A and B are shown apart, each in its own frame.
Chain A
Amino acid sequence: MAMTAADRAASTTGRTEAPRQAPARPAIALRDAGVSLGNRWVWRGADASIGEGEFVVVLGPNGAGKTTLLRVLLGLIPLQEGSVDVLGHRPQRGRRQVGYVPQRRALDRDLYVRARDLVSLGVDGTRWGIALPGARRRQQRAMVEEALHAVGASAYADQPVGQLSGGEQQRLLLAQALVTRPRILLLDEPLASLDLRSQAVVSSLVSGIARERGITVVLVAHDVNPLVSVLDRVAYVARGAVTIGRPEEVITSAKLSELYDYPVEVLRDSRGRIVVVGLEDRDSHHD
């Protein structure tokens, strides 16, 4: 499933309305990468190059290793073969340039801690001791305010996180990931368990911020529909391999049906937008 260099160069040109040149340096580069957990290969032979500022949606059946891919990029799981570069270095835990929102159900309802504090921990949660007042604290407050504002969460910043809705919590986690001004955002199923409207809101929020700040986004999703208008390329994790390509190459009835081993149909609506049908019944029970 490896891509040729020409394919890769062609596919990094991005959105049809705003074609871009392939960047000189990729934000993320996988070379013949393979990961095994226990004695089973999750996927191997993965070759992919993601340019700076690109918006890549990762699709694939449950258990195919989509989250594993993110954990590799975070430096939480080592590769067994090949190599991976994130912003020119081997992945490493604790990098402020890489923001992460893990997959989750709702936060515990009994978390009686302000939304603002959750975001603030994105800045200093790794420092030992108690936060002392001072210039650094004031600067941190400004960063938190800015991140809350960017995701539109200022209105409920003082409410306890456990009491907020799924969409509100998702914005806060995004704010927490953005607060250190990362260059890469790794988002694991940020649209899962959100209603249609919240899905649209969160996906346009992420793409808006990413475009404005030039952030590279790798977003894992089980339903590509709310993301079709914002993505540059689609990566597929299925059958032990990782494939990356332009949406018109990958989002086809034949390709999707093969990858999911389930009948999938790709339609075009009156405005030429892609709509994927058939995955929903299977994936709405994904947890």
Chain B
Amino acid sequence: MTDPAAAVLATSSTFSWNPVADWQALTAHAFMRDALLAGTIAAVVSAVIGYFVVLRGLVFAADALTHIGFTGASGAVLLGLNPIAGLLALTISSAVGIGALQQRLRGRDVVTGMILVEALGLGVLFLRLSSGYSNQTYALLFGDILALSVQNLVVLAVAGAAALLATAAIFRPLLFASLDEEVAEARGVPVRALAIGFVVVVAIAVVAATQVIGALLAVVLIVAPAATAQRLTHRPLLGIGLAVAIALLVTWTGIALAFWLPYPVSFFITSLGAIAWLAVWVPTSRRLGAPARHAAHAHAAA
């Protein structure tokens, strides 16, 4: 699967300090243009939806969805279907389940963890049963953005656009319910339906990110830019814009680095994401500090 890309990469021009020449080299091949396009879609979708994933404390649930996605994709391979179809089908249907159970799953890390691991185990079984394409396994787990088909790009674009539109449509009630579920409910926000709907949107972001950096690493594109942005600004819309900017920077830089250096795209993207988050997290944690916030109950003290 990686052969044509690898061949081109092996003979690709070396990095120059001329940005125009570098840009031309980077976009000279169709697979690189497709990769940049896919990376752009995945970055935008993941960052926007990731903002709410972080706000709602759904990071672990999103991670479970990536692993379920792997199972869906490997199951599709076993049945001779397009992996992205299986990926979408299984993540979205499990998202409905997770969304419906959310209230009861909150704080149930053991349940989520077991589902996550079991999904991965099943995925391994499906891959072995389908006589184990090692390339495909690798692509599913760690991503293979340089070998995306046009068909997958189209699916990615359509699903991504749908997820973004849905998020924009439910933006204010979702923010309300994320900050203050009880008041939102009393005010008439359909909090349960919103919770389920949002996890479905998360499933689409997971699929998009999986296309770029694989099931095991997808969650970094969803979490790192959003968590970084939330530390930098406390305005929701600005925060989402900033998360998108960080995600794009991380993804484009990651793809470019992999073009000139002999290491995988996924490694660069995850590392850059982690670096961006750390670079913001360390100084802001010190500034915000952790003072003793709540005085003991007055009567207990009295």
Do A and B interact? yes
Residues of chain A at the chain B interface (Cβ within 8 Å) = 74, 76, 93-94, 100-102, 104, 106-108, 110-114, 117-118, 121-122, 124-131, 158-161, 163, 165-166, 173, 176-177, 193-196, 199, 223, 280-281, 283-284
B295 in contact (CB, < 8 A):
yes
Q: How far, in Å, is B231 (CB) from chain A's closest CB? A: 6
Are A126 and B188 CB-contacts (below 8 A) given A113-B55, A131-B172, A161-B179?
yes
Within the complex, what minimum Cβ distance (angstroms) separates B227 from chain A?
A: 9
B185 to chain A: which residues have CB within 8 Å?
76, 93
Q: Which of B97-105, B113-121, B163-171 contacts A (4 or more CB under 8 A)?
A: B163-171
> Which residues in B have their C-beta under 8 angstroms from that of A101?
183
In chain B between 141 and 195, which residues have their CB closer than 8 angstroms to a CB of chain A? 168-173, 175-176, 179-180, 182-189
B186 touches A112 (CB 8 A): no
Does B298 interact with chain A (Cβ within 8 Å)? yes
Given known pairs A76-B185, A176-B183, the reply for A284 and B169 (CB within 8 Å) is no
Chain B, residue nearest A225 (CB):
B299
Contact B168 A130 (CB under 8 A): yes
Residues in B with CB closer than 8 Å to A158 are: 234
* Complex Cα–Cα for A166 and B293 (A): 7
Given A127-B172, A129-B171, also A93-B297 (CB < 8 A): no
In the assembly, what is the distance between CA of A201 and CA of B184, in Å? Answer: 26
**Per-residue interface assignment for chain B, residues 261 to 302, with 1 indicating a CB less than 8 Å from any chain A CB and 0 otherwise:** 000000000000000000000000000100001111111111
Which single residue of chain A is at the shortest CB-CB distance from B233?
Answer: A112
A-B contact pairs, 20 of them (CB 8 A): A76-B186, A93-B187, A100-B183, A100-B186, A101-B183, A111-B55, A117-B179, A121-B175, A124-B172, A125-B173, A125-B189, A127-B173, A129-B171, A163-B288, A195-B296, A195-B298, A280-B299, A281-B299, A283-B299, A284-B299
Say whether B108 faces chain A, with CB atoms less than 8 Å apart: no
Roughly how many angstroms separate A237 CA and B29 CA in the complex, as a whole number? 74
Q: Are A166 and B294 in contact (CB under 8 A)?
A: yes
Q: Considering the complex of A and B, which 3 residue pairs feature the smallest CB-CB distances, nearest first?
A: A94-B188, A125-B176, A195-B295
B297-A193 in contact (CB<8A): yes
Q: Which of A104, A124, A130, A223 contacts B237 (CB 8 A)?
A: A130
A112 contacts B176, C-beta separation under 8 Å: no
B172 in contact with A128 (CB, 8 Å): yes
A128-B173, A195-B301, A284-B300 known; 10 new pairs, CB 8 Å cut-off, are A93-B185, A93-B186, A121-B175, A121-B176, A121-B179, A125-B172, A127-B172, A163-B288, A195-B295, A195-B298
- Give the docked Cα–Cα distance between A40 and B260 (Å): 70
The answer, yes or no, to whether B40 is at the interface (CB within 8 Å) is no
Residues of B contacting A113 with CB < 8 Å?
A: 55, 175, 179, 234, 236
Q: B179 to chain A: which residues have CB within 8 Å?
A: 107, 111, 113, 117-118, 121, 161
Task: Check A94–B235 contact: CB distance below 8 A.
Answer: no
